[in-house]
């Protein structure tokens, strides 16, 4: 019998393994009978689990329980925030939406859909070479006519580069004109301290499966005074802005995963930063022309400790990914939602990369299960994989 190739997982930004404790809670709650909207004893017990979980999630994220609206995940939460606010605030004179050029497709696509189908006038805030929003450009866009803006949205931390955005300054600019601000904090949650109340945000998206919880549940933290137009209509659950039968087991597991994440956040961030430093040193030593992108500085105002984004000149990122995968190392070319689409990342293009560099880049993302052995495995197989990917590119390019 042939030996099984050990797998080294470097795609935590796409999804991270569930904590055993969260899995245990979810398994237990899946056996529970009772709809959380029912009035009988089983329904009331299910509701108790949901509301206790809501309280824990709110406390961990600096919000109030009444501000936590459960959704099926980050995509739905982003759609509810941006479409719901646009529809609720739209008038003949107010139809503009401002968003950063590096948003995840879960935000980018709803915004462009609003422009195509609902008469929205969308305006993109550019970013610098490190992937950070240009505040002067955002200020100019707001001050040009603040009365016609329905909402501003800027992600807390970018999912491809790991760059942390100046959310406080974005909120400060918009607050002068009472413009609501939403932030997709899916990547930041777990590795950057989040405090919804202190941030001044009007709405914030999080999801469980980036935190060691299950796929299929997330939340939109939203100030009580906001009344977005619902995407779904039905039973009126979740403040009457998100109808649908409540997933008790998913929510309980979400709360458990967030508890563990926040409890160990500081020590995990430090441990993962150390692994990241080893990874960066090893890649640049073994592949001298490799370019590590994004903010070189660590810290809550600079970049996440979890993401290493590297350009490999002369290589196709997809080819290098598959060669590494064949050796048991799982990485990404960027957002999993765009995987398999033969086009360069809009994030990299927005940062000023040309198409060749954008196509020749990989994202290595770490998480709570990452180990030194994972880094060792990647560094062991990288040189040969890189050499083969580069040779394949030369052959395709017709080199002699």
Q: Is 6 exposed, middle or buried (0-12, 13-18, 19+ CB in 10 A)?
A: exposed
pLDDT over 90 (residue 341): no
Secondary structure E strands in the chain: 8-9, 68-71, 96-100, 121-125, 149-153, 181-184, 203-207, 218-222, 291-292, 307-311, 329-330, 361-365
Output the pTM of the full model.
Answer: 0.94
Which is it for strands 8-9 and 329-330: parallel, antiparallel or unpaired? parallel
Q: Are 190 and 210 in contact, with CB atoms under 8 Å apart?
A: yes
Q: Are 74 and 186 in contact, with CB atoms under 8 Å apart?
A: yes
The 10 Å Cβ neighbour count of residue 290 is 20
Rounded CA-CA distance 195/178 in Å is 20
189-193 contacts at long range (C-beta below 8 A, 24 or more positions apart):
189/61, 189/258, 189/261, 190/258, 190/261, 190/262, 190/265, 191/157, 191/265, 191/268, 191/269, 191/272, 191/304, 191/305, 191/306, 192/156, 192/157, 192/164, 192/300, 192/304, 193/265, 193/300
C-alpha to C-alpha distances, 95 to 104, 110, 125, 184, nearest whole angstrom: 22, 14, 16, 21
Q: Are 221 and 156 in contact, with CB atoms under 8 Å apart?
A: no
Residue 2's pLDDT is 45
From first CA to last CA, the distance across the chain in angstroms is: 42
pLDDT band at 300 (very low <50, low <70, confident <90, very high): confident
125: helix, strand or coil = strand
Task: Quote the percentage of the chain above a pLDDT of 70.
Answer: 94
Any bridge partners for residue 122, and if so which?
97
The encoded tokens of residue 98 equal: 């401002």
pLDDT over 50 (residue 363): yes
Rounded average pLDDT over 341-348: 78
Residue 269's pLDDT is 95
Q: Are 88 and 99 in contact, with CB atoms under 8 Å apart?
A: no
> Lowest-confidence range among 163-177, 330-344, 346-360?
330-344
Cα atoms in the 13 Å half-sphere on the side-chain side of 394: 9
Domain 8-17+265-396 listed as CATH 3.90.1150.10: yes
The residue ranges of every structural domain in the chain are 8-17+265-396, 20-262
Rounded CA-CA distance 168/393 in Å is 44
Local structure of residue 301 (DSSP, 8 states): T
CATH number for 20-262: choose from 3.40.50.1460, 3.40.640.10, 3.30.930.10, 3.40.50.11740. Answer: 3.40.640.10
pLDDT over 50 (residue 230): yes
Q: Are 119 and 83 in contact, with CB atoms under 8 Å apart?
A: no
Rounded average pLDDT over 91-100: 97
C-alpha to C-alpha distances, 371 to 160, 321, 378, nearest whole angstrom: 21, 20, 11
106-149 tens-digit pLDDT: 999 999 999 999 999 999 999 999 999 999 999 999 999 999 99
pLDDT band at 400 (very low <50, low <70, confident <90, very high): very low
The mean pLDDT value of the chain amounts to: 93
172-208 tens-digit pLDDT: 999 999 999 999 999 999 899 999 999 999 999 999 9
Residues labelled catalytic: 337
pLDDT band at 340 (very low <50, low <70, confident <90, very high): low
pLDDT band at 395 (very low <50, low <70, confident <90, very high): low
pLDDT over 90 (residue 396): no
C-alpha to C-alpha distances, 113 to 97, 116, 296, 323, nearest whole angstrom: 12, 5, 35, 36
User: Is there a shared CATH topology between the 8-17+265-396 domain and the 20-262 domain?
Assistant: no
pLDDT band at 100 (very low <50, low <70, confident <90, very high): very high
Task: Quote the percentage of the chain above a pLDDT of 90.
Answer: 89
Rounded average pLDDT over 230-245: 93
Rg (CA), the chain: 22
Any bridge partners for residue 292, and if so which?
310
């Amino acid at each position: 019998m042939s030996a099984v190739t050990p797998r080294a997982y470097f795609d935590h930004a796409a999804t991270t393994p569930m904590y055993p404790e969260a899995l245990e809670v979810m398994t237990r709650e899946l056996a529970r009978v009772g709809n959380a909207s029912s009035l009988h004893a089983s329904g009331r017990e299910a509701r108790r689990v949901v509301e206790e979980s809501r309280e824990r999630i709110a406390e961990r994220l600096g919000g109030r329980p009444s501000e936590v609206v459960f959704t099926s995940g980050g995509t739905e939460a982003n759609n509810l925030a941006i479409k719901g606010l646009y529809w609720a605030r739209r008038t003949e004179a107010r139809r503009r939406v401002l968003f950063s050029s590096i948003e995840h497709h879960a935000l980018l696509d709803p915004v462009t859909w609003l422009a195509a189908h609902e008469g929205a006038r969308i305006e993109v805030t550019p970013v610098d070479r490190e992937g950070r929003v240009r505040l002067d450009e955002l200020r100019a866009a707001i001050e040009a006519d603040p009365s016609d803006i329905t909402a501003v949205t800027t992600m807390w931390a970018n999912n491809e580069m790991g760059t942390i955005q100046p959310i406080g300054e974005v909120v400060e600019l918009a607050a002068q004109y009472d413009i609501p601000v939403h932030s997709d904090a899916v990547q930041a949650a777990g590795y950057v301290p989040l405090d919804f109340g202190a941030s001044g945000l009007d709405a914030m998206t999080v999801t469980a499966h980036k935190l060691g919880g299950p796929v299929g549940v997330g939340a939109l933290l939203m100030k009580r005074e906001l009344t977005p137009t619902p995407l779904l209509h039905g039973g009126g659950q979740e403040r009457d802005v998100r109808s649908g039968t409540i997933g008790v087991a998913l929510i309980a597991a979400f709360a458990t995963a967030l508890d563990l994440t926040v409890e160990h956040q500081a020590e995990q961030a430090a441990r993962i930063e150390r692994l990241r430093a080893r990874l960066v040193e090893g890649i640049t030593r073994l592949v001298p022309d490799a370019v590590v992108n994004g903010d070189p500085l660590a810290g809550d105002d600079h970049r996440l400790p979890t993401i290493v984004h590297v350009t490999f000149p002369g290589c196709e990122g997809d080819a290098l990914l598959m060669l590494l995968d064949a050796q048991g190392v799982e990485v990404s070319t960027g957002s999993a939602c765009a995987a398999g689409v033969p086009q360069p990342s809009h994030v990299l293009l927005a940062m000023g990369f040309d198409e060749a560099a954008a196509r020749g880049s990989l994202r290595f993302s770490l998480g709570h299960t990452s180990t030194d052995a994972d880094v060792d495995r990647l560094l062991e197989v990288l040189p040969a994989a890189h050499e083969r990917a580069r040779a394949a590119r030369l052959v395709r390019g017709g080199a002699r």
